Amino acid sequence: MTDPLEMVGADAAPVCEDGVCELPEADASDAED
């Protein structure tokens, strides 16, 4: 049986999950192009 892990570090650190990665948000001006 696997013991539960003690989580360390910031919750918001970027990950990839379910085939999708948290990409940096683009500037609004970029998105409008």
- Site residues (CB under 8 A) for another protein? 2-27, 30-31, 33
**Secondary structure letter of residue 9 according to DSSP:** S
- The amino acid that residue 19 corresponds to is G
Closest CA to 22 of 12, 32, 10: 12
The pair of structure tokens assigned to 17 is 């999950």
